[in-house]
Amino acid sequence: MSLTQSQEYYLQTMGVDVYWSKDRLIADPVSIPVVETEFEENEAWGDLRQRVAKCQQCELHRGRKQTVFGVGDHNADWLIIGEAPGAEEDKQGEPFVGRAGKLLNSMLLACGLQREQVFIANILKCRPPNNRDPHAQEVAACSAYLRQQIDIIQPKIILAVGRIAAQNLLQTETPIGKMRGQQYEYADTGIPVVVTYHPAYLLRSPREKRKSWQDLQMAMRVYKKTIHQETK
């Protein structure tokens, strides 16, 4: 199995050596039709978006510029879940922007996915002050919103990006380094979950990008297995 030239390019932008990308771990590119970035929101989705925008269930609403509901295709097969909005996300109202967002885009493109083909959300919809870790009560206040997003999207796979996302989705305190390399299930949904490092961490620790690429390859394999089982 081999990579396309464009995938090799995006692996290089991630900082993953090309020779590494050609070893036996490589999975075929994910093939999903490109969807329009603008879609007609169904009633449940639109109602959920409005409720999130007006939410005051925890103290984070006092310091936010706006909520960060998520971005992408709400009929997507892939759901990417991060931790919490940062300053730029709070300003723009979109998750994963700036350098970390660009790296995430490259990670997706290396899998054969465009940002518009997935849905990207966070554990929290509001920015914690000074980008601190979310408090338990804040996660609890937002958890119903995320669960409703998952119920509406019905993704084929969830990619948990970063320690906060992985531990809260899977209800564990296991370090992310020990969570990698395994397939999990989200709650009682049967939806597979794969864990990887947060792009912001990868920018600080570029040597870990190889491990992240392994995680992405695993996610592609899990996704293809899920699709294959559904078409039997």
Q: Give me the domain span that covers residue 97.
A: 5-27+68-230
* Other CB atoms within 10 A of residue 24 CB: 5
Q: What is the pTM of this model?
A: 0.85
Q: Kindly state whether residue 207 falls inside one of the protein's structural domains.
A: yes
Specify the pLDDT at position 25.
43
Contact yes or no for 186/106 (Cβ under 8 A): no
Per-residue pLDDT band at 170 (split at 50, 70, 90): very high
Q: Kindly state whether residue 43 falls inside one of the protein's structural domains.
A: no
What CA–CA distance (Å, rounded) separates 45 from 61? 21
Q: Kindly state whether residue 62 falls inside one of the protein's structural domains.
A: no
Specify the pLDDT at position 89.
96
- Cβ burial 30-43 (10 Å sphere, 16+ → b, else e): bebeeeeeeeeeee
> Looking at residues 184-195, what average pLDDT do you find?
96
Strands 78-82 and 184-185: unpaired
* pLDDT tens figures, 139-162: 999 999 999 999 999 999 999 999
Name residue, tokens 């990006």.
161
Name residue, tokens 């000074």.
130
Query: Side chain identity at 105, as an amino acid letter?
Result: N
Q: Kindly state whether residue 205 falls inside one of the protein's structural domains.
A: yes
Q: Kindly state whether residue 141 falls inside one of the protein's structural domains.
A: yes
CATH code of residue 75: 3.40.470.10
* pLDDT tens figures, 17-63: 544 444 444 445 555 444 443 444 589 999 999 999 999 999 999 99
> Looking at residues 69-98, what average pLDDT do you find?
97
Element (H, E) at 215: helix 209-230
Q: How many domains does the chain have?
A: 1
End-to-end CA distance of the chain: 24
Q: Kindly state whether residue 101 falls inside one of the protein's structural domains.
A: yes
Per-residue pLDDT band at 9 (split at 50, 70, 90): low
What CA–CA distance (Å, rounded) separates 124 from 132? 12
What CA–CA distance (Å, rounded) separates 79 from 74? 9
Specify the pLDDT at position 15.
65
* pLDDT tens figures, 211-232: 999 999 999 999 999 998 887 6
What CA–CA distance (Å, rounded) separates 229 from 226? 5
Specify the pLDDT at position 35.
45
Specify the pLDDT at position 27.
45
What CA–CA distance (Å, rounded) separates 230 from 140? 33
Residue 82 pairs in a beta bridge with: 122
Per-residue pLDDT band at 2 (split at 50, 70, 90): low
Task: Give percent of the chain with pLDDT exceeding 70.
Answer: 82
Contact yes or no for 168/141 (Cβ under 8 A): no
Answer with the residue of higher pLDDT: 1 or 200: 200
| Sheet containing 71-72: order of strands | 71-72, 119-122, 78-82, 157-161, 192-196, 184-185
